[in-house]
Amino acid sequence: MSAPVPSGRWYGQSADVAFDVAGMQAKLLDLDRPCYVVRREGRIGLASSGEALPESSADGQADLLALVKPLPPRLLGDSSFQDCYRVQLSYATGSMANGIASESLVTALARQRLLSSFGAAGLLPGRIFAAIQQLQAGLPDGSYSFNLIHSPSEDALERQTVELYLEHGVRTVEASAYLDLTPHVVRFRVAGLRKAPNGVIERDHRLIAKVSRREVASKFLGPAPPAILAELLAHDQITSEQAAMAGRTPLCDDLTVEADSGGHTDNRPLVCLLPSLIELRDEIQAEHNFDLPVRVGAAGGVSTPASALAAFVMGAAYVVTGSVNQSCLEAGASAHTKTLLAQAGMADVMMAPAADMFEMGVKVQLLKRGTLFPMRAQRLYELYMTFDSLEVLPAGERERLERQLFHRGLDEVWTDVQAYFRERDPDQLHLAEGNPKRKMALVFRWYLGLSSRWSNTGEPEREIDYQIWCGPSMGAFNDWVRGSYLEAPEARSVVDVAWHIMRGAAYLYRLQELRLQGITLPSAVARYVPQPL
């Protein structure tokens, strides 16, 4: 251990000075108290009590080499995020689709005053309504949000979801996977604007926009487009007063910068993307001078104390975790899926076609270890791009699809597809009439869509076809917790994971502060190991 010359004297109880690794870790983890680095009788140790005295003092019991102030996890990030959502940390969990971010997951976090978002994407309105009822009944004062996913292939579903949120008083929405603004997401935001008696614009509907592209971010950071406002006005979906207020309000309250994540992702590195979008926010804020600037948070690759700390140091107002929560007890995923996730390494992921944007060639990031889904999905997209209809597929290809992927004839699959879309979005069937290419896409999307549900429900005969959204952060998390109580998926709680990431980030920040003061502690001290809370 190296140390600089003394900066003062320390006075306290000698028994409070720790010289061993475990003792020093305990002092650094006492985050609500200062930490003193002292030298006594030639030995360097840490203390969390006592008093720092001037260098000229002769009363001290030991040389004071360095000092770090208290750093409870709540001080990381932007406190206005905590105030806005009535939570105790600048931390949130993202909305994993198809109810993977389940009612149980949201409830567990909300009861500890931590923000989470229900995974409404991919669910029918009836299922979303059931979640709204359950969460509103169980968490009348809780802080949580619901997902709103861009659905360019199923516009009616996005519209129905927004109408459901408006009708039943959902106040906070996490908007994700948007390629451009739609009237539906703008409607949700603007319909919640009202003017207080003092003239201040109140935002009764909170919007958290998750983006990975600068051009999309700029649309959420600025006011709603006049053309969309005019359309909403024409259909009596907002008032003229709300339209006027929308011109003086950013479309979102919070912008989550999504880097290399599971599911929909552009695989951008956080160290490049986050500073760029913070700078963009500052430019747009300077132009419009909004009363409340948009906060910018970080997601994608955040799953360890070190990655969370890196995001905060780069200026993130809050951090959002994703893939890691899918491996936790409360997630709406099967035990087999959670086991595969807990075994994943950082390289065990790949890109494959997305079910909801299949025809557009959009891809999602998935786990490839223990499943053949990514390769099979890619083959479906290749067939879609090569052939114009199911009828012209080579006999061998058709036979392989029916036997290996669909486990039934393609005509039977089409019958199932028709039944599904009659309930979900009949317009999709109208678009497929007389359009064999569209029909082929809907049949292929049958497999792509069900594969994630098989993963969630634990369909035993379909384990090789599980679609498991996952980013490299899952492997980083597994590396971090290896050897700790969080290594086993049956011991992973979303609340424990949240607190350990944030406590660990504060712990590592204190270590960095000591390094900047010339203190280098043993490498064993520099590792934050999760212990049961």
Q: 501-523 pLDDT, tens per residue?
A: 999 999 999 999 999 999 989 99
Residues 79 and 60 in one domain: no
Percent of the chain with pLDDT over 70: 98
Contact between residue 307 and residue 473 where contact means Cβ atoms under 8 Å apart: yes
**Strand 145-149 with 115-118, pairing:** parallel
Residues 38 and 154 in one domain: no
Task: Give the tens place of pLDDT for each residue, 217-230.
Answer: 999 999 999 999 99
Whole-angstrom Cα Rg for the chain:
26
Domain count, the chain: 3
Residues 133 and 61 in one domain: no
Residues 190 and 214 in one domain: yes
**Exposed, middle or buried by CB within 10 Å (0-12, 13-18, 19+), for 411?**
exposed
The backbone torsions φ and ψ at residue 78, rounded to the nearest 5 degrees and listed phi first, read -105, 120
Directed axis angle between helix 103-110 and helix 125-138, to 10°?
Answer: 30
Q: Which residue's entry shows tokens 């001037």?
A: 54
In angstroms, rounded to a whole number, what is the distance separating the alpha carbons of residues 22 and 32?
18
Which pLDDT score is estimated for 141? 83
Which pLDDT score is estimated for 1? 58
Task: Give the tens place of pLDDT for each residue, 4-57.
Answer: 777 789 999 888 999 999 999 999 999 999 999 999 888 999 999 999 888 766
Looking at the DSSP assignment, which residues form a beta bridge with residue 350? Answer: 366
Which pLDDT score is estimated for 422? 85
In angstroms, rounded to a whole number, what is the distance separating the alpha carbons of residues 288 and 279?
15
Which pLDDT score is estimated for 454? 95
Residues 391 and 309 in one domain: no
Residues 23 and 97 in one domain: no
User: Comparing C-alpha atoms, which of 71, 70, 72, 51 is closest to residue 8?
Assistant: 51
In this predicted structure, the answer to whether residue 252 has a pLDDT above a threshold of 70 is: yes
Contact between residue 132 and residue 164 where contact means Cβ atoms under 8 Å apart: yes
Residues 437 and 416 in one domain: yes
Residues 137 and 257 in one domain: yes
Contact between residue 275 and residue 314 where contact means Cβ atoms under 8 Å apart: yes
Which pLDDT score is estimated for 430? 86
Residues 120 and 261 in one domain: yes
In this predicted structure, the answer to whether residue 338 has a pLDDT above a threshold of 80 is: yes
Task: Give the tens place of pLDDT for each residue, 265-288.
Answer: 899 999 999 999 999 999 999 999
Residue 260 lies in a domain: yes
Lowest mean pLDDT among 25-39, 414-428, 475-489: 414-428
Average pLDDT (477-489) is: 97
Which pLDDT score is estimated for 424? 77
Average pLDDT (234-248) is: 97
Tokens linked to 118 = 């229900």
Between CA 317 and CA 349, with CA 174 as vertex, the angle to 5 degrees is: 85
In this predicted structure, the answer to whether residue 478 has a pLDDT above a threshold of 90 is: yes
Lowest mean pLDDT among 96-100, 131-135, 367-371, 418-422: 418-422
Average pLDDT (99-120) is: 97
Domain ends where: 321, 347, 374? 321
Residue 490 lies in a domain: no
Widest CA span in the chain: 93
Mean pLDDT for the chain overall: 94
Q: For residues 355 and 118, which has the higher predicted lDDT (pLDDT)?
A: 118
Residue 394 lies in a domain: yes
Q: What is the band of 169 on the pLDDT scale with cuts at 50, 70, 90?
A: very high
Task: Give the tens place of pLDDT for each residue, 75-106.
Answer: 999 999 999 999 999 999 999 999 999 999 99
Residue 474 lies in a domain: no
Residue 223 lies in a domain: yes
Which pLDDT score is estimated for 295? 98
Intra-chain end-to-end CA distance of the chain, in Å: 30
Residue 370 lies in a domain: yes
- CB burial string 281-308: b at 16+ within 10 A, e below: beebbeebebeebbbbbbbbbbbbbbbb
Which pLDDT score is estimated for 150? 94
Q: Which residue's entry shows tokens 């994608």?
A: 300
Which CATH number belongs to the domain containing residue 134 in this structure?
Answer: 3.20.20.70
In this predicted structure, the answer to whether residue 380 has a pLDDT above a threshold of 90 is: yes
Which pLDDT score is estimated for 57? 66
Residue 145 lies in a domain: yes
Which pLDDT score is estimated for 317? 98
Residues 126 and 208 in one domain: yes
Which pLDDT score is estimated for 264? 87
Lowest mean pLDDT among 248-257, 314-323, 348-357: 348-357
Contact between residue 427 and residue 335 where contact means Cβ atoms under 8 Å apart: no
Give the range of the structural domain holding residue 21, as residue numbers without chain letter: 8-70+498-516
Which pLDDT score is estimated for 129? 97
Residues 55 and 124 in one domain: no
Residues 375 and 276 in one domain: no
Residue 119 lies in a domain: yes
Domain ends where: 290, 321, 352? 321
